[in-house]
Amino acid sequence: MQEIPRLESHDKASADCYSDGERGFMQWGQRVRARLLSPLIAVLKSLGVTANMLTYLGVVVGLAAAPFLVMGKGVGLALVAVHVALDGLDGPLARARGDASPRGSFTDTFADQTVIAATTAALAYDGTVGVVAGFVYVFSYTLVVGFAMVRNALNIPYSWLVRPRFFVYAWIAVEWWLAPGVFDWLLWLFSALLLLKTATGFVAIRRRMSGGPATARDRPGTPGASVVEADAQVVEQVFGTGRHGEADGVGANERRKPDAAADTRMPIA
């Protein structure tokens, strides 16, 4: 996971894929990992290893895990674990080297989504998960990550996001050896949450691109409105007419104005 750009205020946009609610926690996690792994990071830094090298290695290992999830379950799980470990190391290394960048964060996000798609496809081929459940999970996950990047670039970030990939990776072992038959239900649950965030993201982006205020934060007179309230208002736009606008996401400044002539008509004598 590459270095997460710091945002000191909502006036600074960043096209990464993190929500407001998780950004601080993720940055804290990177600092903790940097302290715990400082000897290893120092060795990697002295050897000239870069964060991008770890990212590329991680995606290769993750892709290699896919066929082994079908042919050799234990080896496949071990490779998934190595992929996760590499994903947690590239961010602290980038921080230590001072070469963290939006480009690296984008590369890391692409690598993560590639491994999610490959491993889920392997599980569907093996019959561990249903084909439809697996497809919807990957589709909704990819959409919400893409929308998160667009929303951050437009300075209207999500208030929170569900990122279930680590939980799903861990559940592979549970499905195989402890509680078979539950995986599809788990994927459908996560997919429902991801599709909800996809819908709210679509409406927020559409409103911003149409020129209307996308969230409460952008409305005149409400500079302190929370991002949670902002997303709540977007939910109103998705599921019905609310106090903030019409269901199709038309902003207040787009609503039809009365004909100017109506205000200048002279009374009839």
User: Residues 18-74: pLDDT tens digits?
Assistant: 998 888 888 888 889 889 999 999 999 999 999 999 999 999 999 999 999 999 889
Q: From CA 130, how far away is CA 77, in angstroms rounded? A: 19
What's the confidence (pLDDT) of residue 182?
96
Domain segments of the chain as ranges: 17-126, 127-251
Residue type, 173: A
CB 102 within 8 A of CB 7: no
Q: From CA 44, how far away is CA 41, in angstroms rounded? A: 5
DSSP state letter for 268: P
The Cβ of residue 247 has, within 10 Å, a number of other Cβ atoms equal to 13
Q: Which CATH architecture has domain 17-126?
A: Up-down Bundle (1.20)
Which residue has tokens 């004598």? 269
Reported residue count of the chain is 269
pLDDT digits (tens, 9 = 90+) for 215-227: 555 544 444 444 4
pTM score, two decimals? Answer: 0.77
CB 3 within 8 A of CB 142: no
Find all residues with CB under 8 Å of 30, minimum gap 6, and list them. 1, 3, 4, 91, 92, 95
> Which spans in 88-182 are helix H?
90-97, 102-126, 131-153, 165-177
CB 216 within 8 A of CB 222: yes
